[in-house]
Homo-oligomer: A and B are copies of this chain.
C-alpha cells in the first residue's frame, strides 16, 4: 500500500487517483471548460441518479440493460437481522434489496434532455456537464475501461444545422488539439444502438454518421454523437415550430484522456499539464 500515493491504482474496474493524476484531471477540466466556453455552453450539474422512468422513455432498458446499475435501498424487513449480525458476506443478494426508482447514469447527457423535457428551444442551446458514470462491464482494462468513470459532454439542442455545425467544429477542434499534443488518433465511425435498431432503411438514409469516435490505440477517448431528433421526440423538447428538437453531443471519457496523457508524457504530470495548458493560452 502506497500511503501517500501520487499515482494511479486500478482494481476490479475502479480507480484510485493520487495527487499527480488529479492535477492532470484538473488540466483536463480546464480544457473542456475552455472548449465549452468557445461553444457558448452553459455549465450545469445534474442529479447523480437518473429516474427509472426517464430512462425507460429513451429505450434504455431495451438497449443497455446489461450496462445498467440500479441504486437500490436495503429491504426494511432485513434491518434488524443486519443490525444483529452485520452482513457477513461480500455481496447483497436481491432478496436483501428494496425496489429502486433510480439508476446510476451511464452517460452524462441523458440528464440534459431529461432536465429540458417539455421545454421549447427558440435558439440553439448549448449545455456542458460532467458526471460520474457507471457501467456494469464484464471486463475491465485499467483506466481504459472502468465500472465508474467521468464523462464530460458539450451538448447542442436546436435545428439540425446548428447541431451538425456544433459537431463539425468539435471534430476539428479536438482533432487539432490531439495533433498539437503529439497524440496519434484516428476518427472512426461507430454504431449506436439508439439508432441501429431502426433498421436498414434508416441506416441507408443516414447521410451523416450518428457516431464518430476519436480513437487512440484502439481506445475511443471521445465521441461525436448526432442523435437526430430522438431525444427531442422522446423528451418532448420542441423547436419554436413545434417540431422535436435535434440534439448532438461531444463526449470525453476523462479517465481515458488521463491514460492517454500519462502514456504520451511518460507519466510526467508537469509535462502533461503544460501540454494541456498550451492548448488554451
Contact A61-B86, Cβ < 8 Å, known A94-B98, A117-B1: yes
| CB within 8 Å of B: which A34-63 residues | 42-49, 51-53, 55-56, 59, 61-63
Q: Knowing A44-B22, A49-B147, A148-B48 touch, does A69 contact B73 (C-beta < 8 A)?
A: yes
Contact with B along A120-155 (1 / 0, CB 8 A): 010001000000101010000000000110000000
**Residue of B19, B75, B102, B116 touching A3 (CB-CB under 8 A):** B116
| Minimum distance in angstroms from A212 CB to a CB of chain B | 26
**Which of A10-18, A164-172, A272-280 makes up part of the contact surface?**
A10-18
Contacts of A44 in B (CB 8 A): 5, 16-19, 22
Q: Which residues of B contact A61 (CB under 8 A)?
A: 74, 82-83, 86-87
DSSP class of A's interface residues: helix, strand, loop or mixed? mixed
Contact assessment for B90 and A65 in the assembled complex, using a CB-CB cutoff below 8 Å: no
Q: How many copies does the complex hold?
A: 2
Do A82 and B70 contact each other (CB < 8 Å), given the known contacts A22-B43, A89-B52? no
- Give a binary string over A189-232; 1 marks a CB under 8 Å from any B CB, 0 the rest: 00000000000000000000000000000000000000000000
Name the contact of A71 in the complex, choosing from B43, B46, B70 (C-beta under 8 A): B70
Q: Are B99 and A3 in contact (CB under 8 A)?
A: no
Question: Would A93 and B99 count as touching, CB distance under 8 A?
Answer: yes
A104–B66 contact, CB under 8 A?
no
| List of B residues within 8 angstroms of A14 by Cβ | 47-49
Interface membership of A266, Cβ < 8 A: no
B83 lies within 8 A of A74 (CB): no
Given A51-B90, A56-B89, A65-B82, residue A18 in contact with residue B42 (CB < 8 A): yes
22 cross-chain CB contacts under 8 A: A1-B115, A1-B119, A3-B125, A15-B45, A16-B115, A18-B44, A19-B44, A48-B148, A52-B87, A52-B90, A55-B87, A59-B86, A65-B79, A66-B76, A68-B73, A70-B72, A71-B72, A71-B134, A72-B97, A90-B101, A91-B101, A94-B95
Question: Interface on A for B, CB 8 Å cutoff?
Answer: 1, 3-6, 14-19, 21-22, 25, 42-49, 51-53, 55-56, 59, 61-63, 65-66, 68-76, 78-79, 82-84, 86-95, 97-102, 104, 111, 115-119, 121, 125, 132, 134, 136, 147-148
